[in-house]
Amino acid sequence: MSESNHPVDLKSSIRTCIMVFAVVFIATASMIAVSFSHVGGWPLKVALILAIAVVNAFFVAGYLMHLLSEKKLVYTVLAFTVFFFIGLMGLTVWATNDFPTGTLNH
Amino acid sequence: MDIPYTVQVRPDTGLYNAKVGIWLFLASEMMLFGGLFSAYILLRVGTPPGEWPHGWLDVRFGAFNTMLLALSAITTLLAWVACKVGDFRKFKFFHACTLILALSFLCVKMYEYHDKWIHYEIELKDGRIADGHLVSRTSDEVVIEGRYVTDKKDLYDLRAQKNLPHDEIRIAPSDIVKMQNYGPWHNTFTAIYFTLTGLHALHILGGCCVIGYLWGPGSKMWKTDHERFTNRVEVSGLFWHFVDLVWIFLFPVLYLT
Amino acid sequence: MQATVQEFPPYREGEAHAHEAHGHHEQPFFTKYIFSTDHKVIGLQYGFVSLCFMLFGLFLMLMMRWQIAHPGVPVPLFGPLLEKVLGQPAAGGAISADLYNSFGAMHGTIMVFLGVVPLAFAAFGNYVVPLMIGAPDMAFPRINMASFHAFFLGGLVMLVSFFIPGGAAQAGWTSYSPLATTIPTDGQAFWLVGMVLLITSSLLGAVNFIATIIQLRAPGMTWMRLPFFVWAQFVTAFLLLLAFPPLEAAGFMQLMDNVAGTSFFLPTGLAIGGHMANVSGGGSPLLWQHLFWFLGHPEVYVLILPAMGIVCEVIANNTRKPIWGYKSLVYSTLVIGLLSFIVWAHHMYMTGMGQKIATFFQATTMIISIPSVIILTCLFLSLWGASIRFNTPMMFALGFLPMFGIGGLTGLPLGLAATDLYLHDTYYIIAHFHYVVAPGTIFALFAGIYFWFPKITGRKLNEFWGRVHFWCSFIFMNVVFLPMFTQGAKGMLRRMSNGGANYSAAQVHNAIDTLPGSVMEMNTWILWGAVALGLAQIPFIINLFWSIKHGEPVESDNPWGATTLDWQTPTPPPHGNFATEPHVVRGPYEYNAPGHEGSFLPQSDPAVTPTPHAH
């Protein structure tokens, strides 16, 4: 017996799936709307679009991958991965943007 | 010799082996696409202002592909649920849908790639640039459907420009300085676009092979060890969901920003 | 410390599986030796192939050292062979500059990715880890087999690259762009394809190791009862799992630069040979460096952690007392694993980084030296009050300690940005990292070979020739690498095919800070040290093959009197490893436990329960 923590049945799974599909549809539509709108400069637009994408991903991962009900071990592995992912992105971008622009006295 | 916890879960972790394995593999895939996304960020940030393309990709195709993939993720989950409740025919139905949706995604992608492949930027001797889709190319003349620009910068932001001309342009080969299509070599945007979506498409193909195997010859295991088979469906489903997750970020990053 | 036995359902019933219902007693040759899924066979496959690659890497090094000491002079003995096999680059039997560069790049690549990592992680790990945790095999035997074949294929691609027009990769083992894309040889593309195959092999292996250690520990084998070697392999596997993929991504991108004309790493305005390069530009050479070193730094911990694990096992066994500070060792290893991901840019201090980011990486680099020192200290302290048995594995393990000490300490001026600006890309760096890997890791690997040989073959390696191997290797390693610290501090740069002659006082007159004659002379000393080091491996190779059939047979399954589960199996362990499922009742290093007869208590011996004692 593999998964014994919650019983699996087709009807409730279909309901969950419809909910996730609706979320994906709405998220996609919102991102497109933000992208074509004139809310502000590109940085704000990009931040907003990525935020919607993260929410979208949360639903797909949480419900379709059952991440919301996963075991501690999986959470631990993913937590470290996310930490290193952020390290890779963040430190590389910081390193590219931090460089000397002049000598000591000028 | 039997390896323990292939089907039964190990009490202290609550997981069977393949589930541990697939999450570890997905963690490494997160770092793989992370490397590519960090390349995207660095390349974009390093581009002089106004020279990063906008609007080169058709949002309609991207959005349609997003919904195709989301639907396939759902059918993948339902295929696993069908296995759990013992309904083999529903499993076959749902995963057949998954495969059809995936192949449709790849077809749309191929069309998009083709569109870029036949899109040419032609530098002319008089300093103008002709830009458009190739109609025909012979030794006497090159015919494209597009427009002329005088400044290369006008080619980058298609979102800001409305109602672009789409005329037939005939060019004599002797007037051409350089003729290059919008392949990966064209600029860093196309390079990272083809690489990111290409690697993603390879993952879709790989996923299709695995799911196709489980749908076809591999489904024999349903009769001999249906729990182990269900686990295989679950594990391959997790991979498929991850591939969908990557696209959930690829689409906005490449098409919308 | 009363330990509880985990309540697990038995995963197998019954007795020895000599003739189970599986029906395969005698497997055909191909299934048994080439396409085996048995972790022990795979471990030996990795071991044999990686040792061959290490020998080849040694040969490349000897060719280079000759050229450094005698620039332009045909290589004795091997010159004609090189010319015959490689043609123009080895014209007249001398090593041309391009050939030197390709030997340098491939020596590094082969030693790291085809030699040390497969031996330390894949070979020892595959053979020993399932035995040590009481498992019948790895969690995914077929993936294990795939991992070996990917490794083999990757190695083949690397070897083949020597024979293509233009020769093998020549841009260093670090393959920096734009050089790596502009060198007119396909060898760079071969290198990248080989690397993708090797990375795939490592990823498959890493998944297997982690899943096995988490899921297949025998009942009673709690995390804090694991032998330290298993902890070391566990953290190493995580490093491989999460650090390699960005390099794989970068490898794809550089491959596309090479064959598809993209400009991921090629900057705008690139000129080659006086002409503007026909590429789109807009790329970033620094991006390659970041992605490479994101792996590159965890990679060095991949090189050292399994070695520390082996040394710990050998020391515990030959001091006949528990390791000092087991918990410190474990926590230090975990901290090293975590921190190793955020120190990488200390390899890039010379790229024009700003002060803030340089300080960040300097700080994390300094901090990561602390757990490394803790580990070395625990190993040193384990010797205090011990009854040391000076057999060959112990000699190598003891030799490891000061050598790794030197290697580690000489890393400190490299971690500090201010001093690294001077020392970067000099021979000081070469000395530092070779001390850690060569008399460091490789000594530990030798210790492991001498230690586990009896379990694999039922015979011991010859003790006398083992000591000859040890003393000669120890002395000549130091003859080769110690002078390099001086050379580097004097300013001798890396990767100079004529040994720095262009910058020597003999050739450059009336200039300050040229390389003095004393420093140039060291090249000759180093050459003879290297030759002697190479010759010192011959008794080892002969010993290895001879002892398989003619070595002194061991009288028991546990000739070293070891506590860990790998020594509680038959010799050699059969398919499935354990006759009955082991039940672990105590920690890994119960040597000379007070109140008990005998000098050790095996981890799984249920007949005797230890009296609780303070740790």
| Contacting residues of A for B24, CB less than 8 Å apart | 77
Distance from CA of C319 to the nearest CA of B (A): 35
Whether omega for the bond prior to residue C165 falls within 30 degrees of 0, making it cis, is no
* Rounded-to-integer distance, Cα B3 and Cα B149, Å: 67
Average pLDDT, chain C: 91
Measured CA angle at C477 (ends C471, C482), to 5 deg: 130
Answer yes or no: do B201 and B109 share one domain. yes
Answer yes or no: do B24 and B81 share one domain. yes
Q: Which of B39, C348, C266, B34 lies closest to A95 in space, CA to CA?
A: C348
* Rounded-to-integer distance, Cα B73 and Cα A62, Å: 13
B206: part of which helix (H) or strand (E)? helix B188-215
Answer yes or no: do B148 and B199 share one domain. no
- Given this model, what pLDDT does residue A105 score? 81
Q: Do B185 and C249 touch (CB under 8 A)?
A: no
Q: Do A65 and B15 touch (CB under 8 A)?
A: no
- Given this model, what pLDDT does residue A8 score? 74
- Given this model, what pLDDT does residue C23 score? 44
Answer yes or no: do B33 and B104 share one domain. yes
pLDDT reading at C85 higher than 70: yes
Domain count along chain C:
1
Answer yes or no: do B110 and B209 share one domain. yes
Q: Is residue C11 part of a domain?
A: no
Q: Which of B4, B255, B40 lies closest to C10 in space, CA to CA?
A: B4
Q: Is residue C22 part of a domain?
A: no
Answer yes or no: do B175 and B204 share one domain. no
- Given this model, what pLDDT does residue C451 score? 97
Q: What is the CATH number of the domain that holds B175?
A: 2.30.30.100
| Contacting residues of C for B113, CB less than 8 Å apart | none
Lowest mean per-residue pLDDT among B45-49, B86-90, B204-208, C450-454: B45-49
Alpha helices in C320-354 (DSSP H): 326-339
- Given B155, B181, B207, which residue is the final one in a domain? B181
Cβ distance C109 to C40 under 8 Å?
Answer: no
Answer yes or no: do B104 and B191 share one domain. yes
Q: Which of C199, C180, C193, C195 lies closest to C257 in space, CA to CA?
A: C180
Distance from CA of B94 to the nearest CA of A (A): 12
Q: Is residue C172 part of a domain?
A: yes
pLDDT, tens digit, for every residue of C264-273?
Answer: 999 999 999 8
**Nearest by CB: C242 against A84, A98, A99:** A84
Task: Locate B103 and state its tokens.
Answer: 């192949």
Q: Which of C284, B42, C180 lies closest to A88 in space, CA to CA?
A: B42
pLDDT, tens digit, for every residue of C364-376?
Answer: 999 999 999 999 9
Q: Please give the residue that has the higher pLDDT: either C335 or A93.
A: C335
Q: Is residue B159 part of a domain?
A: yes
Answer yes or no: do B193 and B216 share one domain. yes
pLDDT, tens digit, for every residue of C156-203?
Answer: 999 999 999 889 999 999 999 999 999 988 999 999 999 999 999 999
Whether omega for the bond prior to residue C76 falls within 30 degrees of 0, making it cis, is no
Print the domain residue range for C508. Answer: 36-264+284-608
Answer yes or no: do B161 and B195 share one domain. no
> Above pLDDT 90, what percent of chain C?
82
CA distances from C53 to B188, C48, C152 (A): 38, 9, 11
Measured CA angle at C455 (ends C539, C453), to 5 deg: 15
B34 contacts chain C (CB < 8 A): yes
Interfacial residues of C (vs A; Cβ cutoff 8 Å): 214, 238, 242-243, 246, 284, 286-287, 290, 294, 338, 341-342, 345, 348, 352-357, 360
Lowest mean per-residue pLDDT among A60-69, B51-60, C287-296, C468-477: A60-69
B10 contacts chain C (CB < 8 A): yes
Q: Is residue C390 part of a domain?
A: yes
C283 contacts chain B (CB < 8 A): yes
Q: Please give the residue that has the higher pLDDT: either C537 or A46.
A: C537
pLDDT, tens digit, for every residue of C134-161?
Answer: 999 999 999 999 999 999 999 999 999 9
- Helices C517-550 and C463-489 pack at an angle, to 10 degrees, of 160
- Given this model, what pLDDT does residue C613 score? 40
Q: Do A99 and C352 touch (CB under 8 A)?
A: yes
Q: Is residue B11 part of a domain?
A: no
> Above pLDDT 70, what percent of chain C?
94
Average pLDDT, chain B: 93
Cβ distance B98 to B240 under 8 Å?
Answer: yes
What is the pLDDT confidence band of residue B160, given thresholds at 50, 70 and 90? Answer: confident
Answer yes or no: do B74 and B94 share one domain. yes
Domain count along chain B:
2
Q: Is residue B1 part of a domain?
A: no
Answer yes or no: do B96 and B123 share one domain. no
CA distances from C162 to A1, C77, C158, C259, C562 (A): 54, 20, 7, 19, 45
Q: Which of residues 199-218 of B touch C (CB under 8 A)?
A: 199
Lowest mean per-residue pLDDT among B95-109, B112-126, C357-371, C573-587: C573-587
Print the domain residue range for B147. Answer: 118-181
Q: Is residue C276 part of a domain?
A: no
The total number of residues written for chain B in this structure = 257
Tell me the three-class secondary structure of C506-529, residue by residue: CCCCCCCCCECHHHHHHHHHHHHH
Q: Do C264 and B188 touch (CB under 8 A)?
A: yes
| Contacting residues of C for B184, CB less than 8 Å apart | 256, 260-262
What is the pLDDT confidence band of residue A12, given thresholds at 50, 70 and 90? Answer: confident
| Contacting residues of C for A73, CB less than 8 Å apart | 214
| Contacting residues of C for B36, CB less than 8 Å apart | 249, 253
- Given B127, B151, B181, which residue is the final one in a domain? B181
Task: Locate C365 and state its tokens.
Answer: 């680099």
- Given this model, what pLDDT does residue C611 score? 44
Q: Is residue C273 part of a domain?
A: no
CA distances from C296 to A69, A75, C414 (A): 36, 27, 15
DSSP string, A45-84: HHHHHHHHHHHHHHHIIIIIS-GGG--HHHHHHHHHHHHH
What is the pLDDT confidence band of residue C21, given thresholds at 50, 70 and 90? Answer: very low
Lowest mean per-residue pLDDT among A43-52, C368-377, C459-468: A43-52
Q: What is the CATH number of the domain that holds C121?
A: 1.20.210.10
- Sheet with B142-149, side-by-side order of all strands: B167-171, B142-149, B129-137, B119-124, B176-181
DSSP string, B115-145: HHHTEEEEEETTS-EEEEEEEEE-SS-EEEE
| Contacting residues of C for B191, CB less than 8 Å apart | 253, 256, 262-264, 280, 283
Q: Is residue C274 part of a domain?
A: no
- Given B165, B181, B197, which residue is the final one in a domain? B181
Q: Is residue B33 part of a domain?
A: yes
**Nearest by CB: C341 against A73, A84, A98:** A84
Distance from CA of A105 to the nearest CA of B (A): 27
- Given this model, what pLDDT does residue C26 score? 67
pLDDT, tens digit, for every residue of B75-86?
Answer: 999 999 999 999
Q: What is the CATH number of the domain that holds B240?
A: 1.20.120.80
Interface test with C, best of B2, B3, B41, B45 (most C CBs within 10 A): B3
Answer yes or no: do B31 and B106 share one domain. yes
pLDDT reading at C19 higher than 70: no
What type of residue is C297? H
pLDDT, tens digit, for every residue of C572-610?
Answer: 999 889 888 899 999 999 998 888 777 888 888 765 544
Lowest mean per-residue pLDDT among B159-173, C322-336, C512-526: B159-173
